[in-house]
Chains A and B, each alone.
Chain A
Amino acid sequence: DAGVTQSPTHLIKTRGQQVTLRCSPKSGHDTVSWYQQALGQGPQFIFQYYEEEERQRGNFPDRFSGHQFPNYSSELNVNALLLGDSALYLCASSQEGYTNTEAFFGQGTRLTVV
């Protein structure tokens, strides 16, 4: 049973560029959440997708956008990259119905903006 898979594992981009990160949820999961983990900090919630719609959003600017596909996989897009966007981006999947469920995390995509 494949867990949560993310691609790519590492990425280097230049300021001002755009980036797309991808996530495949654990089998049987229909909800995908994205988190940003800066160095030395805990993960910060970006947004969550369910039924191909953004259901909840954290305190991130509109430069951060996402998408969920019919097969439940998801993309995170970041436009106009800033140096401060350098971080580990984590994808977590879970099943709808928040009670008594847990989130499973992928290994993350390490984004470096230069």
Chain B
Amino acid sequence: AQSVSQHNHHVILSEAASLELGCNYSYGGTVNLFWYVQYPGQHLQLLLKYFSGDPLVKGIKGFEAEFIKSKFSFNLRKPSVQWSDTAEYFCAARGSWGKLQFGAGTQVVVTP
């Protein structure tokens, strides 16, 4: 069965700390991978996406993610977080027909 799992439900860290959020997927065939962010009171926004090619993808706001096919992983990273990065982060995978399968989400809280 297709699935996406995120390693942490809650992460608390201080400003300037580095962030890494884990994501593993279980999909057969071609898969597209995404990280979305949901700031408090706002809609889901796309941080970055991987379709093919360079497995290291860069997104908005200084985020990047690495696709490791052998590990079925697509981890999100940011070298130095800011208070404004406080949000919920969702990893998602898409196989055929555009259906997105989301992970349960990781709530990230950045303290000043």
Contacts and interface: CB of A to CB of B under 8 A. Distances in A.
Nearest to A106: B43
Interface in B1-57: 4, 32, 34, 36, 42-46, 49, 51
B102 A42 contact: yes
A7 interface: no
A98 B96 contact: yes
A44 B103 CA distance: 9
27 contacts: A4-B43, A33-B98, A33-B99, A33-B100, A35-B102, A40-B105, A41-B104, A42-B92, A44-B102, A45-B99, A45-B101, A48-B97, A56-B97, A56-B99, A58-B99, A90-B44, A98-B94, A98-B96, A99-B32, A99-B51, A100-B51, A102-B34, A103-B46, A103-B98, A103-B100, A104-B46, A106-B43
Nearest to B91: A42
A41 B105 contact: yes
A52 to B, nearest CB: 16
Q: How large is the interface on B (under 10, 10 to 19, 20 to 34, 35 or more residues)?
A: 20 to 34
B90 interface: yes
Contact of A105 (B44, B51, B104): B44
Interface of A: 4, 31, 33, 35, 40-45, 48, 55-56, 58, 90, 92, 94, 98-108
A111 to B, nearest CB: 16
A102 B46 contact: yes
Which 4 A-B pairs rank lowest in CB-CB distance, beginning with the nearest?
A: A42-B102, A105-B44, A107-B43, A98-B98
